[in-house]
Structure 1
Amino acid sequence: MSQPTDDGTPAGAVLDAPRPVRFTAPRLASPDDDGREGLMASVVDEIGSMMVEAKRTIAAAASRFDPDVPPTAFYVLRYVMKHQPCTAGDIVKAMALDKSAVSRQVALLREAGFVDVVPDAADGRVMTLGSTDRAEARMLEVRHENRAVFRSHVEGWTDDELGEFAGWLHRFNTPADPR
């Protein structure tokens, strides 16, 4: 007789097609919250948890990238790599960081050989930032490592579930037109 699997299904049993996953998140909201407000409270709670996990993941990625690069500098470098050429002012606006904080992070990244600063072709008074080949190569390695970390979070999900999740995240991160 075959041993049951971890979920109690007999070994070798043919299973029905997977059912849609229904997520039941722990509720941190007030018991008085119900309906849409209760659902919104759950969404806010889960986003908070996701932000904590993202912060932890970014800190680990920054450390793997270079132990001397703090997470804020890593954030700045990722922005530069995605939006290059860009200016320190672009980073300040996009990331809601203080100008002096951006200047410190850019200086650290320059000294470490991850960012180049060059005059803008259209206006030589403006300095633009770009990533170095060293930064690009190192970031590629870290991206592969990050994907492995994220894969562990979605282990067992179908491609359809993963696609649906990506779509919902995109929809959430694209606010509705306020018109």
Structure 2
Amino acid sequence: MADAAALAQDLRGIMSKLKRRLREQANVGDLTPTQISVLLRLDKDGPATTSNLARAEVMRPQSMGAVVSALEAAGLVDGVPDPADGRQTILSLTDTCLRLIQEGRAARQDWLHRKIEARLSLEEQEQLRTSLELLRRLVDD
């Protein structure tokens, strides 16, 4: 059991470092972690209202409104009136934002690809592939 606890701690440390290094590869400018989270949620889930985003991000609607306003001012999010409820605005990513997200993903993919090729032998790459299967079993419900 102690071995599994130590393994879990080491894995968390490595995953955090990998996540940080990947994040460094994408130029996110002055965006806050909350703003990035909202943009990625809109990218993953599609258009949403400020209220829906606030619920999904576990924030007060007023706080989410400030986040959305900053994203609109930066030209990353656009809003259109909700046809079902004119008081609401349906938010979606702008073409500029979609391009930035795509470029960021490509930069992270390229960085990781180069690191794997440069630092791991073919045998080690196969070991990594096997490890991915184990990690997948840990996270798949």
Normalised by the length of structure 1, the TM-score is: 0.60
In structure 2, C-alpha distance between the alignment counterparts of 1:40 and 1:83, rounded to whole Å: 34
Is the strand fraction higher in 1 or 2?
2
Deviation at 1:143, TM superposition (A): 1.2
Q: Deviation per CA, 1:18-43: give whole Å up to 9, x if none.
A: xxxxxxxxxxxxxxxxxx34213421
Correspondences of 1:5-16 after superposition (within 5 Å): none
In structure 1, C-alpha distance between the alignment counterparts of 2:10 and 2:55, rounded to whole Å: 27
Equivalent position of 2:3 in the other structure: 38
Is the helix fraction higher in 1 or 2?
2
Is 2:31 the counterpart of 1:69? yes
Correspondences of 1:130-169 after superposition (within 5 Å): 130-155=92-117, 156=120, 157-158=125-126, 161-162=128-129, 165=132, 167-169=133-135
Equivalent position of 1:102 in the other structure: 64
In structure 2, C-alpha distance between the alignment counterparts of 1:97 and 1:76, rounded to whole Å: 11
Equivalent position of 1:51 in the other structure: 16
One-letter code aligned to 1:42 = L
Q: Deviation per CA, 1:8-64: give whole Å up to 9, x if none.
A: xxxxxxxxxxxxxxxxxxxxxxxxxxxx34213421431244134424533552xx1
Larger C-alpha radius of gyration, 1 or 2?
A: 1
Percent identity (aligned): 27
- Bigger relative contact order (CA 8 A; separation at least 6): 2
Three-state SS of the structure 2 residue aligned to 1:68 is coil
Equivalent position of 2:44 in the other structure: 82
Deviation at 1:151, TM superposition (A): 2.2
Flag structure 1 segments of 5+ consecutive residues without an equivalent. Answer: 1-35
| Contact 1:59–1:70, Cα closer than 8 Å, also in 2 | no
CA change 1:128–1:169 in 2 (3 A) is farther
Three-state SS of the structure 1 residue aligned to 2:47 is coil
